[in-house]
Amino acid sequence: MNLTKQFFKYVSQNIFGLIGTSCYILADTYFIAQAAGTDGVTLLNLCLPMYNLIFAFGSMIGLGAATRYAILQAQGEARAQRYFSNAILCACLIAIPFMLAGAFCPGTLLQLMGGDGDIVALGLNYTRIFLLFTPFFMCNYIFSAFVRNDGDPSLAMVATLSGSLFNVVFDYIFIFPMGLGLPGAALATAISPVLSIAICSRHFFQKSNTLTFVRQAPSARLLVQSCQLGISGFVGELSSAVTTTVFNFLLLRLAGNVGVAAYGVVANFALVATAIFNGVAQGAQPLISQCYGKNEIAGAKKLLLLGCGTALALAAVLYGAVFGFTDTFVALFNSESSALMAEYAHSGMRIYFLGYFFAGCNIVAAGYLGAVNRPTEATITSVSRGVAAIVTCSLILSALFGMNGVWLAFPAAEAITLALTVFLLKRPQSVCG
């Protein structure tokens, strides 16, 4: 199979898998909106940064370790096998503080995120349940990344979609027929990565499998080496947490809980959009790393161009859908028919999603830089779009234009970052750290 066909095979399967993952968050939002109205949507949006932080660690460890594995396997290095075991062990250790927070102080976390007394009371058990399942969320990233890098993207896609389908179905069952309410939604979300991991585990029984679990103590050195290449994934996920947190506080000041609920609608559809572009970047990563490991630099650059072209085409389709069906999308999560929430969310969708014409290329480029062992540039791109540019733009533009300035911050930050990313890509690789 030639490189272009391999690219579209890996990318399409990974996009479908990640869309499935993000769609279960949409299902969460829809069912919670039906069960708890605007307060429920507000709660979920305040919890999103916690999800993002969990996914950030899972992504950094999983994608980074799997990238190291792919490069070393292509070079015939036996030490490649140690990265899978180390990733699992380190993820379980990193998950412990999240589990302790969920067990003992979930209410405090919600207060820190800006929740008032009613929101904290509503979300206490929801937050506790999903934080206690943190190891499974993180390990799901690791299993999926390694199975994909070991030549089985189809199984990784099936595992992800199966977990997502379980979540959607049992969201409804737990919340309504069983009457568990919001804790039921958290339970469905928490069990879904367990199912995905179980399905990915089938890979270990296949003849094509080259992964083995090595008995070893957790290695900080291997973790650092993994994280260097996974930092773009970490910052990419963390950027969602930073963006959501900053926007939440700005919107609370500008419009109160209704503003945050409106952003909850925008943010949940944005998760689906981001998943699409992460699907392009993560799908191409194993192929780029293999080309790099074999010193086929022309092939790696071809994959970068294919990735950016695909991202721009998908951004056009995505914006067309958002622009054409804005009212329909907003109405799905506006169970109380709030005119003010609908107005805020309508303008937010149409302005915010312009940013994906720039964000798609940034995500693909950051993934490319990590896949070819250029962690410094990958980190600069990711930190710019995820923290520096978005925080600066949101503070300045919200002061100038109010609510519309908050929505405009995302496309502005991504456009600034794209200019920086193009400059970094043009630097000779010999300059890289």
Crossing angle between the packed helical segments 297-324 and 339-352, to the nearest 10 degrees: 150
Cα 279 from Cα 301, distance rounded (Å): 18
Q: Is 213 in a helix, a strand, or coil?
A: coil
Please report where in the chains the tokens 């290329």 appear, as a residue: 361
Q: What CA–CA distance (Å, rounded) separates 265 from 319?
A: 16
Predicted confidence pLDDT, tens digits, the chain (433 residues): 688 899 998 888 888 777 776 677 777 778 888 888 878 888 887 888 898 899 889 989 998 999 899 889 888 888 888 999 999 999 999 999 999 999 999 999 999 988 888 899 999 999 999 999 999 999 999 999 999 889 898 899 899 889 988 988 999 999 999 999 999 999 999 999 999 999 999 999 998 898 988 888 899 999 998 888 887 778 777 777 788 888 888 998 999 888 888 898 898 888 888 888 988 998 898 899 889 988 998 999 999 999 999 999 999 999 999 999 999 988 888 877 888 889 999 999 999 999 999 999 999 998 899 888 888 888 888 888 878 898 999 999 999 999 999 999 999 999 999 999 999 998 875 433 3
Q: What residues have CB less than 8 Å from 292, skipping those under 6 apart?
A: 71, 74, 300, 371, 372, 373
Count CB neighbours of 71 within 10 A: 23
Contact 364, 304 (CB under 8 A): yes
Q: Which helix (H) or strand (E) holds 396?
A: helix 389-401
Task: State the Cα–Cα distance between residues 66 and 226, nearest whole angstrom.
Answer: 8
Which residues lie closer than 8 Å to 400 by C-beta, 6 or more apart? none
The pTM for the full model equals 0.74
Closest CA to 70 of 229, 217, 215: 229
Show the tokens assigned to 227.
């994280």
> DSSP class of residue 387?
I
Structure confidence at residue 433 (pLDDT): 36
DSSP 431: G
Q: How far apart are CA 25 and CA 21, in angstroms?
A: 7
Coil/strand/helix, residue 334 = coil
Give the pLDDT confidence score for residue 231 in this predicted structure.
Answer: 75
Neighbouring residues of 246: CB distance < 8 A, sequence distance ≥ 6? 390, 391, 394, 395
Burial class (CB in 10 A: 0-12, 13-18, 19+), 321: middle
Taking each helix axis from N to C end, the angle separating 356-371 and 3-74, rounded to the nearest 10 degrees, works out to 40
Q: Tokens at residue 64, please?
A: 């980074």
- Determine the pLDDT at residue 1: 63
The pLDDT, as a whole number, for residue 430 is 43
**Residue 20 contacts residue 140 (beta carbons within 8 Å):** no
What are the residue ranges spanned by the domains of the chain?
3-431
The per-residue pLDDT for 193 is 94
